[in-house]
Amino acid sequence: MGREGSLASESLYVQMRDGTRIAVDVTRPAAPGAGTVPAVITATRYWRSFSLRTPGSPGGSPLGPRDPIGDFFVERGFAVVIADVRGTGASEGVWPHPWSNLEIDDLRDIVDWVVDQPWSNGRVGATGISYEGTTAMLLASLGHPAVKAVAARSFEYDVYADIVRPGGVLNEGMMRSWSESLTALDENKPPKLFGPGRLLIKGVRPVDDDPKAERLAAIVNARSNPPVFEAVAAITDRDDHYDEQEVTLDDLSVMSRLEDLRDASVPIQLWASWLDGTTARSALRFYDELPNVREVRIGAWSHTGAQHGSPLSHRGEPDPPLADQWVEIAAFLGPRLLEAFDGREITETERLVHYFTLGEEQWHSTPVWPPAHVHPVTWNLAGNGALATDSTDERVMRHVYDSSTGTGKSNRWYTQLAQPVRYGNRAHEDRRLATWDSAALVHGIEVTGSPRATLKVRANVTDLALFAYLEVIDLDGYVHYITEGQLRARHRGAGGRSTYLRADAASLGPEDVAEFSIELLPTSVYVPAGWHLRLAVATEDNANFESLNAGVTPEVEFLCGGGSGSILVLPTG
């Protein structure tokens, strides 16, 4: 055990019910008279802590990917327990796929172990980002009497629709990079997602009684976890099995445990961002379906919460700063976990969604989503590229696409690999897309909720993906990305039906029209007077999503105007 002032830390193995040993780091107050304390658990796929190439120790809690969380919570009277999930890091066993049933059973065993420790006050919470946000929610679903609250950040409701195949289109770039990172971690090599600092990292930290890392080396050499990308790339529809195992992506999703979460009634705080994958939509779905979700906080930050991601702001630091985000998490967990509150229950206050409005760069709160002041406004897509609320003449806009269009690698999908999110000026890219622009707005408008684009098209291909981007154009002509949605023609999703395009007809007629109803990811943005709204539509996002038309140039006709053409519906306040 190491000590640094009033902090004690140790790394050890905890044996699970089947004999598998899970590596955990425990950091807790060590000052005389500290008494018993609650524990905050994080179960991670990304190494609980590091073994460094440089000699010595920086002091404090073990150095790892989620610093300085350990020091932060210990200073406030918590113990922090960080575990390498089964088959990863320094833990024994096999990781067959994300969030296996054995991995979930391990969470229960870890809670039992924590409660049995002499320093424990018998109360346990959980927190974490991304994979760890999911394990926090899974821990809340156990119904364990010691679990009193969780604060989960930046994770998915539905693995299939939210991260692997949004709109039925394979999220190829992100999933391939993630899979490569996991393979590196399993080989005890620091992955690229750790950034330049990885050069100082030798590997995962061995437990204290394995000082020469001999046991760790044996575990790593015996490891045979299946690669993720090959498994998810073979999945087309949500009922396809993962890596020929008897599970689907639905089985791996937190949504499959909604009933357990309701029954457990553990108070939950959720964190997300308008610019971080589909995390905002996921958090809002949980808020809608789980009454024990007491708070949702949706900001404009990167996946880690460390960088500001608002496309309408130049600030680098998020609002609020990351340190203040952790203060809010501690304020939620503390009253439910700290020993001073033993013997009396917390009176839960009104459920609220706290959300950040881009452009206005201000926070707001609402008990219902969408907020009560929002109502839908329909904008018609005209054949001349106009976007207008009044009816327009019925025409066809024809667009020939190329395969090189995309949103780059500093976007909402790549930030999930711990990268910043910056879109830059979309004006040049939009010249290669089909676009519809509004006139300069006479009055500023607020868009808060999930826009929906209904696109009626004919095309020269039998399968097609459409990517719809809501953008705004400022007084200088700078085009700012706001949000997006995508849909594959053959996607049958959750209860949906396939839309097949007909490319065999020599002359495309009315019977060949396909309707793409694309729900864009939720957002909140204030667009000032004098600016323009834009809807841009692509058939490729070449750095991110799979290409469905290799070797073919998609030619798409958009039916516009009149009373039955393509439209954009904006939730407007």
pLDDT of the residue at 503 = 44
pLDDT of the residue at 507 = 43
How many CA atoms lie less than 13 Å away from 12 in the CB half-sphere?
13
How many CA atoms lie less than 13 Å away from 240 in the CB half-sphere?
17
pLDDT of the residue at 61 = 73
pLDDT of the residue at 433 = 97
First-last CA distance in the chain: 57
Q: How many CB atoms lie within 10 A of CB 367?
A: 11
pLDDT in tens, 35-63: 899 999 999 999 999 999 876 555 567 88
Residue 89's SS3 state is: coil
Residue 59 DSSP one-character state: S
pLDDT of the residue at 5 = 55
Per the annotation, the verdict on 276 as an active-site residue is yes
Q: Residue 543 pLDDT more than 60?
A: yes
Catalytic residue among 97, 303, 491, 532: 303
Query: 516: Cβ–Cβ under 8 A, 6 or more apart, which residues?
Result: 453, 454, 455, 456, 457, 466, 487, 489, 499
pLDDT in tens, 63-117: 888 777 888 999 999 999 999 999 999 999 999 999 999 999 999 999 999 999 9
Beta strands in 6-141 (DSSP E): 7-15, 21-29, 37-44, 50-52, 79-84, 120-129
pLDDT level of residue 347 (50, 70, 90 thresholds): low
Average pLDDT, integer, range 557-570: 92
Among 72, 41, 275, smallest CA distance to 138 is for 41
Q: Burial letters for 515-543: b for 16+ Cβ neighbours within 10 Å, e otherwise?
A: ebebebbbbbbbbeeebbbbbbbbbbbbb
Query: 376: Cβ–Cβ under 8 A, 6 or more apart, which residues?
Result: 569, 570, 571, 572
Do 164 and 249 meet the contact criterion of CB atoms below 8 Å apart? yes
pLDDT level of residue 183 (50, 70, 90 thresholds): very high
Q: Residue 328 pLDDT more than 80?
A: yes
pLDDT level of residue 342 (50, 70, 90 thresholds): very low
pLDDT in tens, 373-416: 999 999 999 999 999 999 777 889 999 998 899 999 999 999 99
Round the average pLDDT of the chain to a whole number and report it: 92
Rounded CA-CA distance 219/109 in Å is 21
pLDDT of the residue at 402 = 87
Rounded CA-CA distance 237/249 in Å is 10
Structural domains of the chain sorted by starting position, each given as residue range(s) with its CATH number in brackets: 2-366 (3.40.50.1820), 375-572 (2.60.120.260)
pLDDT level of residue 425 (50, 70, 90 thresholds): very high
- pLDDT top residue among 298 and 53: 298
pLDDT of the residue at 394 = 84
Residue 334's SS3 state is: helix
pLDDT in tens, 114-158: 999 999 999 999 999 999 999 999 999 999 999 999 999 999 999
pLDDT of the residue at 495 = 43
Catalytic residue among 25, 162, 276, 430: 276
- pLDDT top residue among 315 and 268: 268
Q: Residue 1 pLDDT more than 70?
A: no
Per the annotation, the verdict on 130 as an active-site residue is yes
pTM over 0.85: yes
Q: Residue 424 pLDDT more than 70?
A: yes
Rounded CA-CA distance 257/262 in Å is 9
| CA dist list (Å): 237 to 33, 104, 285, 492, 552 | 57, 25, 21, 7, 24
pLDDT of the residue at 511 = 56
Rounded CA-CA distance 270/155 in Å is 9
- pLDDT top residue among 531 and 4: 531
Query: 101: Cβ–Cβ under 8 A, 6 or more apart, which residues?
Result: none
Rounded CA-CA distance 423/311 in Å is 7
Catalytic residue among 130, 177, 179, 181: 130
Among 509, 467, 520, 465, smallest CA distance to 490 is for 465
pLDDT level of residue 493 (50, 70, 90 thresholds): low
Q: How many CB atoms lie within 10 A of CB 157?
A: 22
pLDDT of the residue at 32 = 65
